[in-house]
Chains A and B, each alone.
Chain A
Amino acid sequence: MPTSQEKTSKVKNRSPLSSRITPYLFLSPWMIGLVVFSIGPILLSLYFSFTNFDLLQPPNWIGMQNYKNIFTNDQLFYTSLVVTFSYILMAVPIRLIVALAIAMLLNRNIKGIGIYRAVYYIPSLIGSSVAVAYLWQQIFGPGGLFEKVLSLLGLPASPWIDEPGTALFTLSLLSAWAFGSSMLIFLAGLKGIPESLYEAAEIDGATKWKRFVHVTIPMLSPVVFFNVIMSIITAFTQFTQGYIITDGGPINATLFYALYLYNQFTYFKMGYASALAWILLVILGAFTSIIFFTSKKWVYYES
């Protein structure tokens, strides 16, 4: 085994075949998985999206028909897009602002940080579970805890989950409630900002607010960037809440895109659902590219 020369010699071509294929050998499980579970299905669903596949008959090529129907003839498609975007616009900012605020409080070297961290993280740990989805339904449903609190406070009480106007916001609250993981990422980012920067700013006479705007925000921007992308993708593919808590209702007020896609799948409209999946892929791709592209302007990287 000519191993120890490998590092010193630059002559890559001379290394024997066996050592050249070794890395691929280690990568092979992942590479097989990549083809079977990711790339293959992505391409196959592109093909399915041009067919009327229904799992029972072999797929028939119908060209752009599915896409044409989706864009010109499917009101629920647009409804689900509006629902999903509204959800993102509500859930992501609330979640990230609360996460950053709590992270900054926890970053003040206070006592008992372990307990606080645990309390704030637990909702995030269980937030996507079915159990919590039912709990939410109970709290905000008819006769639920929240309605009781509202009437105790003398406010107009109604089950928020049953009202088209508030149902989606209630689900956004659940997503915001589970802000713990974003908070931990922010906290780690805050800990990484050198104290000397704040001291220098203080000497220059910067107020607290100015230090936040000119030191914390720029130094934290890579973390913000990461959190924004993660939260948007999670929100885009939200399924469990809409399925369990509201089943898309009332009057489609919580018909998430992923839920709509799933419904088409349960009717065995595989071609149609594949077209929906590809539209989702394109939207997600566009979104992440835009964020990545603009990130050069607002994300600050050292060195």
Chain B
Amino acid sequence: MTAGKSYNLGNLMTHIVLITFGILMIYPVLWMFFGSFKPTQDIFTSPSFFPTHWTLQNYIQGWTMLPNMKFGQFIGNSFLISSLVVIGTVFSSSIAAFAFARFEFRFKRILFSVMLATLMLPSQITLIPQYTMYHFLGLINTYVPLIAPSFFGAPFFIFLLIQFMRGLPRELDEAAKIDGCNPFQIYWKIIMPLSLPALMTTAIFSFIWSWDDFFSQLVYINASSMFTAPLGLKLFMDESGAQLWGPMFAMSMISLIPLFLVFMFFQKYIVKGIATSGLKG
């Protein structure tokens, strides 16, 4: 009996620690969330955590504050970029992963090592030559520099997809071959549908990363009509002289909503994706 009791007590302690620390962790986010529904002067002065009078004023003011530009435009631009990045990443990475997972060829080991070596190549290293290239192609201030690379395979996702595809039974390929499928048909009709979970993980993470990406957007985009959500937030902050915290919180919340939604609907894939891709490295 005592053992059971101490077990329960230990469990209770664990819950207490986890809840206390969890509240501390999530507090800043909740503060921003509730702050976005308070009048600006209340955010810092009012002692109450919840708004005493809820207002949508911040959202209205923030949405329309910049002259000739709605905040929705930034969100739309971000969506356009992220969607194209997701499409590019899924196809270009899966096709490379298919080659690594299903073929034997001469330089496989070398190419595989090269891919692993570029896995964590920071964008600062390649910044100047890439910028120079886009400059001479006249592509600065377009979305091409933000989208084009994703159509040429992302090492992180190639790696993740290779791991997954290796787990798929080869008998299926053999059967398809006998039925007269060529390699491309095997990729498209057999491997792709079966890799759906890993493709979902790829899509979700490439979406999150491109949505959150700030460095490349800052470097390549300078016309405010083409700004993305992060650049829009910065513009908003600069224009308002860091005074309008209410509308700022409101627009911040809006820029984070897509991430929250992705997390809510695809939590399973996110958790699994992090766990497996991390471990097999």
Seen from chain A, the residues whose Cβ lies within 8 Å of a Cβ on chain B are 1, 3-4, 7, 20, 22-24, 26-27, 29-34, 36-38, 40-42, 44-45, 48, 53, 55, 102, 105-106, 108, 110, 112, 114, 116-123, 125-126, 128-132, 134-136, 138-139, 143-145, 148, 177, 181, 184-185, 187-189, 192, 222-223, 226-227, 229-230, 233, 236-237, 239-240, 243-244, 258, 261-262, 265, 270, 273-274, 277-278, 280-281, 284
A112 to B22, CA, bound (A): 13
Given A277-B124, A280-B124 in contact, is the A134-B252 Cβ separation under 8 Å? yes
Smallest Cβ-Cβ distance to B233: which chain A residue: A130
A192 to B122, CA, bound (A): 31
B26 lies within 8 A of A45 (CB): no
Q: Hey, which chain B residues are within 8 Å of A26, CB to CB?
A: 95-96, 98-99, 103, 183, 187
Given A24-B105, A129-B255 in contact, is the A41-B118 Cβ separation under 8 Å? no
A-B contact count (CB 8 A): 245
Binds A, one of B53-61, B65-73, B130-138: B130-138
Given A145-B31, A240-B215, A270-B132 in contact, is the A226-B281 Cβ separation under 8 Å? yes
Q: A37-B149, A42-B126, A134-B252 are in contact. List 20 more A-B contacts (CB 8 A).
A: A4-B178, A23-B108, A26-B95, A29-B153, A30-B115, A34-B118, A55-B135, A108-B10, A110-B15, A112-B15, A119-B22, A119-B26, A123-B29, A131-B255, A132-B28, A132-B252, A138-B245, A188-B275, A188-B276, A262-B127
A37 to B158, CA, bound (A): 16
A284 lies within 8 A of B129 (CB): no
Minimum CB–CB distance from B146 to chain A (whole Å) comes to 12
Q: Hey, which chain A residues are within 8 Å of B125, CB to CB?
A: 41-42, 45, 277-278, 280-281
Interface residues as binary, B195-235 with A (CB distance below 8 Å gives 1, 0 otherwise):
00000000000001000101100110000000001100110
B129 lies within 8 A of A102 (CB): no
Minimum CB–CB distance from B78 to chain A (whole Å) comes to 11
Q: Hey, which chain B residues are within 8 Å of A243, CB to CB?
A: 214, 218
B233 lies within 8 A of A122 (CB): no
Q: Hey, which chain B residues are within 8 Å of A185, CB to CB?
A: 274-275, 278-279
Interface residues as binary, B250-281 with A (CB distance below 8 Å gives 1, 0 otherwise):
01110110011001000100110011101101
B271 lies within 8 A of A117 (CB): yes
A297 to B100, CA, bound (A): 31
Q: Hey, which chain A residues are within 8 Å of B215, CB to CB?
A: 239-240, 262
Given A30-B158, A55-B135 in contact, is the A284-B28 Cβ separation under 8 Å? no
Smallest Cβ-Cβ distance to A272: which chain B residue: B128
Q: Hey, which chain A residues are within 8 Å of B11, CB to CB?
A: 108, 110
B122 lies within 8 A of A20 (CB): no
B44 lies within 8 A of A122 (CB): no
Quick check: is B189 within 8 A (CB to CB) of the other chain? no
B177 lies within 8 A of A265 (CB): no
A105 lies within 8 A of B130 (CB): no
Q: Hey, which chain B residues are within 8 Å of A192, CB to CB?
A: 279
Quick check: is B14 within 8 A (CB to CB) of the other chain? yes
Given A30-B153, A230-B120 in contact, is the A38-B274 Cβ separation under 8 Å? no
